[in-house]
Amino acid sequence: MKEQEIGYISNYFGNIEVAIIEMTKGTLETGDTVHFKGKTTDFTTTVSSMQIEHEQVEKVKKNDSLGLKVSEKVRKTDKVFKVID
């Protein structure tokens, strides 16, 4: 399973389980699988929906800042990888 680093976590809102991801390279689309990796974080999830400024988007690219609903807690500076088939 190959992975490409695409960004990092800049914030996490635990009450609504939303991670804010800063994209540093590549693209991310609805349906892609992402892997969150950090000191105490290590899980994968499928992107079901993403938002930029509270607007639903299907695809994001480098330099975008997006909100993503996650099933587990993430922490600031955790790395985000896109899983490539």
* Dist CA 60 CA 43 (whole Å): 21
Q: What residues are paired with 55 via a beta bridge?
A: 52
* Dist CA 40 CA 78 (whole Å): 9
Note down pLDDT in tens along the chain; length 85 residues. 899 999 999 999 999 999 999 999 999 999 999 999 999 999 999 999 999 999 999 999 999 999 999 999 999 999 999 999 7
